[in-house]
Structure 1
Amino acid sequence: MTITRRTFGKLVLGAGTLAPYHFIRPAVAQPKPGDELVVGIWGGAQERIVKEHVEKPLVEKFGCKVSYVLGGTPERRARAYAERGRPSFDVIYLNIFESRQAVKDGVTQAPTDAVPQAANLYDIAKIGGYGVAFNPCTVVYDKRKASKPVTSWKDIWNPEWKGRIAWPSYPGAEGTAALLMAAKIWGGDEKNIGVAFEKIKELRPFAAIQGSQDQLFQMFDQGVADLSVEFGSFTRKYAETRNPNIEIANPVEGQAVAMNVACITTGSRNQKLAEEWINLHLSEPCMLAYAREIYYSPTVKDVTLPADLRAKLLVGEDVAKLVDFDWDTVTRNQAAWSSRFNREIAG
């Protein structure tokens, strides 16, 4: 999986000043047969997809080698920071928050037009690197237990869900999305988070505080809870393979943005290969494979999606509605908010 709430809690988040999209191509050496590109990425389906749709054509074109640093985001990020300016790998995959901060900290490079497909990226995917997949958080629920479809984040506060909500833990990707969206829809924001805490307290008692996707899906299976906040893509896969009663809401206020980002490390010894790698990742075959296999939405506008698949993804206006946040403020307050969550919500 891309990022769990447990993983998210270990991250040092931050957006900082949004890095601009650059149009200057640096002079780089051309790849030679035998050159080795080192890629830090998540395992599982994502590793399998890039091996087929990125590594294979890259090796065929340049005669190069590709090796991988697999595992969780915190370890990958810590290694990149420790090796700043003298990286052992060339391409590192981070989440939206880390990628912005990494550019600001000089660990990775801002995007440039040396990657041709970058011109087709949605604007939000041109910040902090090259966005390769949208995986936003939203309200998910058992449609059998709903008197009407959930169309707004505010619907969580409908009395019919009392005692049936599995609220996501904080800090965590889903818990952060839930907290920040609660603030926004009830008149607050990242700088006035107290609104969210007071509104969330109104929802108690919860069926549970859930700490992972597997835990939540087991709760749905067993009827312990009927509503939560989760990654829409993972939930759709779960609904289609295990529980067809689960619905993924598309609230009028928008879904909370989450995105995987491919970044080229500062000081990469294989700059051209890294750019070619990312360009292949942004190509239609790879984007379609992500969409078909794990319902990650494309970050480029030039992908032709079949109608049945398009209905399950975020494209066009849905992408424009994704809700982004002031991650500098979130980072500064994470420890205090975590303490408050444990005391006032989970306690």
Structure 2
Amino acid sequence: MTYFIGVDIGGTTSTLAIGDESRQVVAVSDQFPTAPQDGPGAVIAAIVRQASVELERLGATLENVPFVGLATPGPATQDGVLLKTPNLDPKQWDRFGIREELEKAFRAVSPRLEVCYIGDGQAAALGEFAIRNRSLSWDGAPADKLPAEDLHSLFMVIVGTGFGGGAVVDGNPLRGKEGRAGHVGHILLPEYAFRHDHDRQLVVGNAKSTAESAVSLTGLTHQLEYRLTLPEWADHKLNAAGGTTKEKARQLRELAAAGDPLAVELFDDQARALGLAMLSVNYLGDYDRLVIGGGVCDLASDVRDRYRLTAEESYREHALDGFRNLDRLEFSVCGDAAPVIGALAWVLP
């Protein structure tokens, strides 16, 4: 039996997906620690070790694998040379050829194995597209639960610690001249996308007022720190709570589900900014489907519905007439697995 592997490397953990020649996803691993602070060598060794463990459960070895798809956070070159990637120490990771070095490590076990690189935002979009158009089967998103839609293109955003994205056009991920396409987090938003001047001042990359400044856990943390200094929120429970502001920001999902006014306000602000970002994306691509992925997919159902509707309202409010006919935004059907499913789809025949 021939198998194919997808690898998604994150900031602290990684995930593997395994598929077969019939384009069936046969296994998706739990997240496993890869400790990037220990350097590239430790991460590569952990991936090779976990791949062997996952294959052994299927009665196979790396000798059964001709191709591995690799996805990492960007920016990076087409061939997987990392370029000061966020959340990875540049002293250890900048200009590191992750694709080539992972291939060397795999070839020490299986000499003919090849590793193919794709950015994680591009991979997420490809994974979502492949599952939605049913060119790839996965029990994690059964076909009878998928929306019935004729897809040719899609843009997907990933709302997490940062804000990334990727596009698929005519079934192919849009990679760009140097592999950098999809960095939606760095587009600039208008002043009215932010409630307070303080919110616009968060520098992401080399700019203020970016989409990631407004739509990310990093943005929420920056905004929450300021909101808690305002008189209207002086008695808020988070002012009395211990921990860092980032740890407090991680509590906002639960607080929003309980109807906490500050948490609801922050997620409403984020959703309105997301609607503006999605509109900018669609002006350029005119996509069949706009999809929201990442941590916001795990919001409580009523909060998630409010978030989507608020983003749609913001999109339509500011859209040209020709773009106002958006039927709806969609949440990801793949969830956090979208990038690893896409990395696998990248190398499937």
Is the TM value for this pair above 0.5? Answer: no
Larger RCO, structure (CA 8 Å, separation 6 or more)? 1
TM-score normalised to the size of structure 2?
0.29
